[in-house]
Amino acid sequence: MKYAFKVRYIGKNYYGSQIQFENGEEIEKPTIQGTLEKAICTVTGEKTTENNKRPIKTVFSGRTDKGVNSKGQVVHFKYDKPIVASKFVYSINEILPPDISIRDFKETKETFHAQKSAKRRYYRYEFINRRNKDAFDGDLMRIKYEIDIDRMQKALNYLIGEHDFSSFKSAGSLNPSKVCFIEKAECKKLDDDKVIIDIVGNRFLYNMVRAIVGTLLEIEGHNLSYEHMKKVLEAKDRTKAGQTVSPYGLTLIEVQY
């Protein structure tokens, strides 16, 4: 049987969502996947082997980096015994750390795949645009110079549609694919000086959203034309884009199937 659920987490205390390996061995660093698999094994009563191999493996809808949050990460795993959803959700949430929780647990079709079946992914980046700090800004990046939301929106509009996003792909990425389809790219500023950038696409490259935000801030910080975004996109050259900004404002909001 195959089961699926959503996992919500605050990523600041973890080395990303995915378990990391070195020379075929799992690195002993806290990850969302590793923490979750241990909790699932505890609840189901499945014991790990002597070499710390867990009998239940999870598949995530996508990878998030160290510090990145999630409100809608989707996970599936296979298990040959029936699971009572309400009991499982309660039990696993009681033993997971305070910064990880699951919801919407259900049995799913055998053909379902958390990553491969996904049609679109929705990310949100948040930062503060204010000279002075506030105790409740938390870990969000604070931009002290004034930004123009209308100009930022015009720059984001160039990203809509299918493009080669090589300019926003970190050098550390091992995935050779560079083409993504962006369905939505919008920004707004709230009354508390928080800026929200929402981007929805069929897929995202490694650090792509953070590089896009970095380019927006470079445009605003250096008073460049909003058309600079188009030039960066067409250049297909990572050195032409802005810096990769802090991960602490990035959240995977939803994965749609």
Q: What is the pLDDT of residue 51?
A: 60
Same-domain check for residues 100 and 128: no
193 is catalytic: no
pLDDT band at 47 (very low <50, low <70, confident <90, very high): confident
Cα end-to-end distance, the chain, whole Å: 20
d(CA 56, CA 90): 19
Q: Kindly state the helix (H) or strand (E) to which residue 78 belongs, with its residue range.
A: strand 69-78
- Residue 242's CATH number: 3.30.70.660
* DSSP state, residue 61: S
**Set 65, 80, 192, 237: catalytic member:** 65
| Each residue's pLDDT tens digit, 154-206 | 999 999 999 999 999 987 655 678 999 999 999 999 998 999 999 999 999 99
CB neighbours of residue 36 within 10 Å:
25
The answer to whether residues 96 and 102 touch, using CB atoms and an 8 Å cutoff, is: yes
| Each residue's pLDDT tens digit, 110-125 | 999 999 999 999 999 9
State how many domains the chain has.
2
The structure's pTM equals 0.93
Same-domain check for residues 165 and 127: yes
Mean pLDDT over each residue of the chain, to the nearest integer: 93
| Each residue's pLDDT tens digit, 48-99 | 765 667 889 999 999 999 999 999 999 999 999 999 999 999 999 999 999 9
Query: Three-state SS for 191?
Result: coil
Q: What is the pLDDT of residue 25?
A: 73
Same-domain check for residues 189 and 91: no
